[in-house]
Amino acid sequence: MKSLGSIRRAFAPWNDPGAKPYIHFDRVTKKFGDFTAVNDLSLAIYEREFFALLGASGCGKSTLLRMLAGFEEPTSGRIMLDGQDLAGIPPYRRPVNMMFQSYALFPHMSVEKNIAFGLKQEGMPKADVEKRVTEMLKLVKLEPFAKRKPHQLSGGQRQRVALARSVAKRPKVLLLDEPLGALDKKLREETQFELMDLQQELGLTFVVVTHDQEEAMTMADRIAIMDKGQVMQVATPAEVYEAPASRFVAGFVGNVNMFEGKVAERSGNSARITGGTGAEITVENAGEAVKDTEVSFAIRPEKIRISSKRPADAINALQGEVYDIAYLGDMTVYHVRLDDGQMVRAATMNATRVADDPLTWDDRAWISFRPDAGVVLTR
């Protein structure tokens, strides 16, 4: 069986029927007055997994995290951690720690004292505290900054102090609420890989809340995409991107083109889809589509080829006019208005410094794609 996308690590307990979830949300509902923030949600997270809750503001992802931390109680349903029902257990007695976007560092304390604070509160012997703090400083590469105060550090360094303080107590689960939101783009990208490496080195279970798709795709083993208090799909980053379960997921994660039409013919896993203007598309990933039903064909921009002439080997080819062009350095994005009026986005990698088939505004152009380049969506 071929894999969708690259495999980051050989870790997939969710595919093992005998594996037991480490964290289990069992039909959890959370209401604030008349507003339902989380609606009858069930979700399984496994030990040592880097799990992301991804969604727009107000979708319920932070509420889910706060219930796991103990800052909120479910209106109904159960939350289990390592086989234990967390109902009634206060936050400070739960084997979890939470790292906030603001970092919440003590401004009057040095880096080492910030890291040591929680350990001292638990009554750990002084020698053990010093040893643990030294380990944490080395882990996050902040040994030279141990005596500095938070205001003397960069944003990325403060983020690492907060992270060291969060894992110093050796929690079973680390909860991260928009942990990289305060960092600039380049530093955020660097820190994503640092977090991944740190999670695997520590062997902890990480649950991160984010609205940043790229952040979730980069760091997580699996992603739960949420909308209006419900989980729309749980899958690996590659599966979410290449095989979205619905129009909502396809549109929320990355850029996508949607072709609407009716299934004119179905044979095995292939189908022929006819649009309202008579344009036809042949697809190999027809999924659950049934003949004579309305469907959407979703295809990512990088799966579409653009050229001035119709490719001789093209099974699916549609003609239009170049409406907009964005040169992004590593790739060029074309917006092509098809002859039926639909706007299509095509992305081409700039593998060479000179374009073989240069196109500019208002040029006539062909877009083409393979039958297996996209997926048919019925919901």
For residue 51, the domain's CATH number is 3.40.50.300
Q: Which residues contact 250 (CB under 8 A, 6 or more apart)?
A: 244, 256, 258, 296, 298, 375, 377
Instruction: From 225, 247, 269, give the residue that closes a domain.
Output: 247
How sure is the predictor about 65, in pLDDT bands with cuts at 50, 70 and 90? very high
Q: Give the tokens for residue 192.
A: 């994503």
Same domain, 107 and 187: yes
H or E element at residue 230: strand 230-235
For residue 340, the domain's CATH number is 2.40.50.140
3-state secondary structure of 312: coil
Position 102 scores a pLDDT of: 67
Q: Can you tell me the distance from the alpha carbon of 246 to that of 295, in angstroms, rounded to the nearest whole number?
A: 11
DSSP H helical segments within the chain, as ranges? Answer: 61-69, 111-121, 126-139, 155-168, 185-202, 213-219, 237-242, 247-252
Same domain, 75 and 184: yes
pLDDT in tens, 266-322: 988 899 999 877 788 999 988 888 898 999 999 999 999 999 999 988 899 999 999
pLDDT in tens, 98-155: 887 666 788 999 999 999 998 888 888 999 999 999 988 888 888 999 999 988 988 7
Q: At what angle do helices 126-139 and 185-202 cross, to 10 degrees?
A: 130
Position 2 scores a pLDDT of: 65
More confident residue, 188 or 361: 361
User: Which domain does 187 fall in, by range?
Assistant: 4-247
Instruction: From 247, 276, 298, give the residue that closes a domain.
Output: 247
Position 238 scores a pLDDT of: 92
164 pLDDT higher than 90: no
| Percentage with pLDDT > 90 across the chain | 62
89 pLDDT higher than 90: yes
Same domain, 189 and 277: no
Position 256 scores a pLDDT of: 95
CA count, 13 A, side-chain hemisphere, 136: 27
Contact assessment for residue 117 and residue 109, using Cβ atoms and an 8 Å cutoff: yes
1 pLDDT higher than 60: no
Same domain, 16 and 97: yes
Position 245 scores a pLDDT of: 93
Same domain, 194 and 259: no
Q: Can you tell me the distance from the alpha carbon of 320 to that of 363, in angstroms, rounded to the nearest whole number?
A: 9
